[in-house]
Amino acid sequence: MAQVLEFKLPDLGEGLTEAEIVRWLVQVGDVVAVDQPVVEVETAKAMVEVPCPYGGVVTARFGEEGAELPVGAPLLTVAVGEPAAHTEPQGSGNVLVGYGTSETPARRRRVRPTPAAASPAGRPDGTASFARTALNGTARARVGALHTEGPVPVISPLVRRLAREGGVDLRQLAGSGPDGLILRADVEDALRTRAALGSRTAEAPASTTHRPAEARPAAATASDTRDAGIRIPLKGVRGAVADKLSRSRREIPDATCWVDADATELMRARAAMNASGGPKIALLALFARICTAALARFPELNSYVDAEAREVVQLDQVHLGFAAQTERGLVVPVVRDAHARDAESLTAEFARLTEAARAGKLTPGELTGGTFTLNNYGVFGVDGSTPIINHPEAAMLGVGRIVPKPWVHDGELAVRQVVQLSLTFDHRVCDGGTAGGFLRYVADCVEQPAVLLRTL
C-alpha cells in the first residue's frame, strides 16, 4: 500500500522565514525522483528551486503561484511505494533550498493518481483549496484565535516592526499562518483596512457640508486620481532592498567625497594585459584590486558598527559586494576573499555571479556577508552618484563612466580618459581625513597603476 508523505517548505537559512511561489515545476499526478526540484520560490534574497526529498507520485500541491508561504507550511504530498516491513520511507534528507544529490532527476511522466492518493492522510482534496484560501497573497482567510496572553507569534522581526510603525496592535489580529502565526500580509491587510475606513470617515463630513455644487467634483476627481495609479507590491527582492535601504538611511550617518581622476594609463595597462593572449581582464576587476589594496591601507573602511556594544568592528577579510542590475531589480552579489584574488580570478568570479544574478539563481549565501561594496554606475552612462551604503557595511566606492575630457597633463592641455570616483562612508567609523586618504590613494592607482604594483 502506498504511503503519502507531506513535504513542507524547508528552513531557508540566512534568517529567511517565508517565500513566494514563483512557478510550480510539477503537476498533481507527476512522478518525481528523490531530490528532483518541484517548485521555484523567491525569497527576500534570491530565487531558488526547492528539491523534494521523496520519490513517488505527487498527490497534492499547496498554494498557487504568487502565494506567500511561511517556513514549515505544506508544499506538496507524495505517494511513495510500499515500504519494507517495520520500516518507514526515508527521504534523502536534503531539504534545504538549493541542495540535493548529484543524481540527474528522472523525466516527468503523467500517471493517474489512485483514489487513496487523491485524498492524502484521509483528507479530501479540499486541502489544496484551503491552502489557496488561507495563503493567497490577495485574499487570505483569517484563521486562529486572538492572542490575549503571552507573546504574540509573529513570523519575523520585520513584521513586528511593520506593525509597530503602522500602529497595529498584534493582539487584535488573527494570524493566517500555521497555528495562528501572524504573517506580513496580515499586518498589511490590517493597515489597508484601517486606511480605507479612515478615508471613508474623512469623506463623510463633506457629504453633509453645504458647499457650492461646483466644488464637489474637484474633490472627487482628486480622490479618483490617487486611486487610479498602479500598485506594485514591495515584496521579494524589491521588498528586501527597500527594507535594507530604509534601515541604512535611518541608522548610518553617511557622507560622500569625490574626485576626478585621469584613467588613461589604467586603460592602457588593461589593453596591454588583454593583448598578451591570456584571459581578458575586466575593468571592474582592476578597480576591485585597487579597492582591496586601499582597504589594506585604510582598514577602518572595511568594518561595521556594532550599535549595541557601541564598537567599530574592523574585519580581516574583504568580501567585496558589487551592484548588478537585473530584470528583478538591483542585487549585490558578494565576491568572497577578494583580497586574496588576482585580476584574472576576480574577472571570472564577477562573470559567474553576474550571470547567476541575471538568471535569478544566486543563493542566499552569495548575496550576504559583504564587507565593502564597489558600485560601477558608469555603465548607466552617468558620471557621479551619492549612493546609500549597503547596511551594515561602512563604505561604498562609486565609479562613474570613463569619457574623453580636457585635462592638464604634463603642463599642457590634452584630451584624456577621465573618471569620477566617489566614496560614501559611515562617519562613525572614520573622519574625513581617512576617507579622503582612501579616495586619494584609489585615484593615484587609477592615474598611475605602478603605484598599485609597489604595494603588492
Q: Write out the catalytic residue numbers.
A: 427, 431
User: 455: Cβ–Cβ under 8 A, 6 or more apart, which residues?
Assistant: 293, 296, 297
- At 284, which amino acid appears? L
- 372-375 and 395-399 strand pairing: parallel
Cβ neighbours around 345 below 10 Å, total: 15
User: 425: Cβ–Cβ under 8 A, 6 or more apart, which residues?
Assistant: 254, 255, 256, 257, 301, 389, 394, 395, 396, 435
Which residue carries 593583448 as its cell? 275
Three state DSSP letters for 102-126:
CCCCCCCCECCCCHHHHCHHHCCCH
> Which of 392, 374, 254, 250 shows the shortest CA–CA distance to 312?
392
Q: What are phi and psi of 51, to 5 degrees?
A: -85, 145
Q: Which residues pair with 373 in a beta bridge?
A: 321, 396
Give the SS3 label for residue 412.
strand
Contact 257, 435 (CB under 8 A): yes
